[in-house]
Structure 1
């Protein structure tokens, strides 16, 4: 059996240096390829440039506002050698919010490309040096450093900041989570062992690199194993299989609805003829994971990890279909009621698999033991909230069965309360995902006219297949594990599911628009089992009910 080639290293900088002299292909992209040695040489040149650009007494932070181009991993490697931290800047942010992200993370240098320059127009970024990678000026600036040998700065230790990656929340500005060189190197090494990653493997990086998933779960293990990396500038479902074949990719990561979009592409007779061995990610769901494996012959491994690194669960082969897995030995993960701090009841299931006691079994996942969470950059309030009472609070809902297996039930702000019963959006989504007339589904709460919430679903039909409300209603009636309060009162039919830049469903936007949106909405009035189109007369009648109960203002975001 081929050795994994994993390098035991305390820092990312050591992993970068270990690839010096390795002339195998290390980086593939649309325009060509670079060897591992060339990548390390490019990193050395950029690290030397950084030594001259970074302020002597300021924070050694650089912002990277790039698509997944070769410059991204080159600057990650350069920052590791130089002892600098990379703040991944989200290109979907605009105006004052974008400026805030750059300034909040104390970026002295911002690396970008011409395609993103319009985003910076009019922004006040005092003392920020902007480097535009696809320009002659950049090439001229870098040229004098081309012969630099790779060296690790004397300041680099395992505790050196490596990443400042933004995590989105339901309220407030995004928080910049800290990841050190030691934690990133350890995460990469752990995944090498878990998946048996080898030097001959190629990791397909199609998720955006400003997000922690692509760097921590895809780039880092490739670096640790000496495997190759293949870049897709931006995720494309229609080009996914072609890219995999062209790059001979064996491993990829995904987040959110990426798997659903690939499944929505037209099937080919030779779909299973591909080099992929495994996909690793979150939120694909058991139904779509099974469909993906059946169609492409590729196993998807659903893991769980809070963005900040405070809790993690990896799926075990013997886990029930909808479970993530058990907590790792030595971890102290618990599902608790945030109000009482008591552990929630053990999940009880009907013979058909339906969760019987969701109201008392679903709670927030906490880590009561030692947490690898390294804090937020300049946000003590958010850090204290995350670590309240000495526990790490994930912000995610789970339930646990009698054998200790943990089941994901959504975000804490994805909880619905219907007729005094607590429901979790993810549980309902897993059921609706079985519907063949849906390529993607998202479930969220809208206010009830009297009290609590009603269930609303956004549904994206497969291309060329119109939504059939009668067929959907019959599907709901045939699902034995769909509780009486779980059936959506509203169904919004979208051409494409709205997602964030990291391919997670844009739930805040969906909740904010509710049933008052431009897309077609189908309504199941109380006491009815069938859906009717929510036209203007029905909408007027519905709004009048909210107004009469004094809850009309709850519909406004």
Structure 2
């Protein structure tokens, strides 16, 4: 049996290691106890799984110790884990469980109501905080770790859903080989040591927490500390209590932490690095200034098809360069031609976004392992030439550094000029009153799009239309088409379960006034922002009606 390069091998390595390995609230388990718990669950799993069906289990849990224990058990038993999102409901939730062919579903009492009335034929539900579960597991307690004969580096390990903006979520496949390799790579990149403690506060049903946080801790023999659900107010106390040295983040988590009241002891903690995506350069700088912790913005497509490494000398605003040996390019999605190198003007303004922004494509060997039972989605990612199309917008400078410009569906076209939402967001995030910003397209009554921005402001701060306009004028890298025509002021941006901004919700609501905030606008030819009143709404709707485009308003 070939175990080199498997997650199972990493689990076995922790047997006999009596250092603290897993912390959760007041519970502390040694690495040995974690391996023993995984061994017991793997033995139970072998009894539960029907060999005639796919060896898949679903996990519908918060970040409790059962989650990493069952991940480790699945690795030993040669099973694949489907992370089930507890924010899904009804038919969509049932679809996720059925689509990934789960034989067993692990859940807890708090989530049982989500399963009421769902059609889940052939799925055995185990409630991990029940007496029945304890009785079921009891005969296997004390088992030593053993690896099923079917386990190999190619064995499926994860089926994790990508957070696409349209259609049903796709379940990306991740093998034991890829997960173990990702863990080892991050150990090297961040110099993870056995005495480190990885704080897992992002949801473990998402690839970020498992691939970028749990896997490197397992590979290095470092400890892990779990937070049931992310809490900005509890973040720093957890870091201190657990002795955490490393954490990962996605979406707006960093903004939420920065929005907590500053304290005199904000730098009194052992944390040394955070790794994630979408914090943005402004918030990363604020985080380091306040907490003394370096945030490393990385890029790796959820499916594993392409990755960019940040190295010393990476310019501000850039993600990094392609890893050695990788052939990454920015291509025009329409023609397949390589986009022009980015040209910058004073203040770092991108001068040729229309020619430079395109889709990031891996033209070399890709570790993408496909989607579960979704050939159409596979074909969209890997095209006839074997290249992997990420679905993400980037531009690249003359020195080969890549800059993230948003998802492909976050592109705006204003007056025949292509713009990227992420570029505008990075500029608007500099405005001191802002704690959260999302830029998205709303339709133009004539053609193309108009720029709209949703702003979440600091507590107790009202939107200052004059101050905001003056701020925009002072930004040397804000192109003439980038300034928002509409500004929606909200208490908090709508987010997905993984703290990513739900731009689909914002786009769907458009520029109309909403109950949870107010909308301001700058009429054509007018330099000042003013409230978008009912009379203004009627006037804009009239423009769309006159041109036969009213249907675009939804």
- Secondary structure in 1 matching 2:98: helix
Matches of 1:147 and 1:296, distance apart in 2: 43
1:182 aligns with 2:180: no
1:459 aligns with 2:455: yes
Alignment of 1:275-294 (within 5 A): 275-294=270-289
Alignment of 1:108-187 (within 5 A): 108-187=103-182
For the 8 Å contact 1:397–1:411, the answer to whether it is kept is yes
For the 8 Å contact 1:68–1:208, the answer to whether it is kept is yes
- Secondary structure in 1 matching 2:493: coil
**2:496 equivalent among 486, 500, 512:** 500
Match of 1:4 in 2: none
TM-score (norm 1): 0.98
Matches of 2:9 and 2:526, distance apart in 1: 64
Matches of 1:430 and 1:267, distance apart in 2: 23
Matches of 1:147 and 1:326, distance apart in 2: 48
For the 8 Å contact 1:447–1:454, the answer to whether it is kept is yes
Alpha-carbon shift at residue 388 of structure 1 (Å):
1.1
Match of 1:545 in 2: 543
Matches of 1:533 and 1:237, distance apart in 2: 32
Matches of 2:238 and 2:372, distance apart in 1: 36
Match of 1:27 in 2: 22
Alignment of 1:229-378 (within 5 A): 229-378=224-373
Alpha-carbon shift at residue 527 of structure 1 (Å):
1.3
Match of 1:223 in 2: 218
1:13 aligns with 2:8: yes
Alpha-carbon shift at residue 9 of structure 1 (Å):
4.4
Instruction: Please list every run of at least 4 consecutive aligned residues from structure 1 whose deviation after the TM superposition is greater than 3 angstroms.
Output: none
For the 8 Å contact 1:250–1:277, the answer to whether it is kept is yes
For the 8 Å contact 1:88–1:211, the answer to whether it is kept is yes
**1:419 equivalent among 412, 415, 420:** 415
Alpha-carbon shift at residue 267 of structure 1 (Å):
0.8
Q: What is the alpha-carbon root mean square deviation over aligned residues?
A: 0.9
- Secondary structure in 2 matching 1:117: helix
**2:427 equivalent among 431, 456, 461:** 431
For the 8 Å contact 1:409–1:425, the answer to whether it is kept is yes
Match of 1:3 in 2: none
For structure 1, which segment, 419-428 or 381-390, has the greater mean C-alpha deviation from structure 2 after superposition? 381-390
Alpha-carbon shift at residue 328 of structure 1 (Å):
1.2
- Secondary structure in 1 matching 2:149: coil
Number of residue-to-residue matches in the alignment: 549
Matches of 1:222 and 1:274, distance apart in 2: 19
Matches of 1:515 and 1:68, distance apart in 2: 37
1:482 aligns with 2:478: yes
Matches of 1:68 and 1:38, distance apart in 2: 18
- The Cα offsets for residues 390-428 of structure 1, whole Å up to 9 and x where unpaired, read as 210000000010111100000000000000000000000
- Secondary structure in 2 matching 1:335: strand
For the 8 Å contact 2:4–2:153, the answer to whether it is kept is no
- The Cα offsets for residues 136-186 of structure 1, whole Å up to 9 and x where unpaired, read as 111111111112111011100000000000012222110000000011001
Matches of 1:356 and 1:408, distance apart in 2: 16
- Secondary structure in 2 matching 1:214: helix
For the 8 Å contact 1:280–1:302, the answer to whether it is kept is yes
- Secondary structure in 2 matching 1:55: coil
For the 8 Å contact 1:9–1:15, the answer to whether it is kept is no
Match of 1:385 in 2: 380
Matches of 1:314 and 1:528, distance apart in 2: 44
- The Cα offsets for residues 336-385 of structure 1, whole Å up to 9 and x where unpaired, read as 00111110001000022100000000000000000000000000010011
Matches of 2:330 and 2:224, distance apart in 1: 37
Matches of 2:258 and 2:180, distance apart in 1: 33
- Secondary structure in 2 matching 1:371: coil
Matches of 1:329 and 1:15, distance apart in 2: 26
Matches of 2:490 and 2:270, distance apart in 1: 33
**1:450 equivalent among 441, 446, 449:** 446
Matches of 1:197 and 1:262, distance apart in 2: 24
- Secondary structure in 1 matching 2:434: coil
Match of 1:522 in 2: 520
- Secondary structure in 2 matching 1:553: helix
Matches of 1:38 and 1:80, distance apart in 2: 16
TM-score (norm 2): 0.98
Match of 1:404 in 2: 400
- Secondary structure in 2 matching 1:439: strand
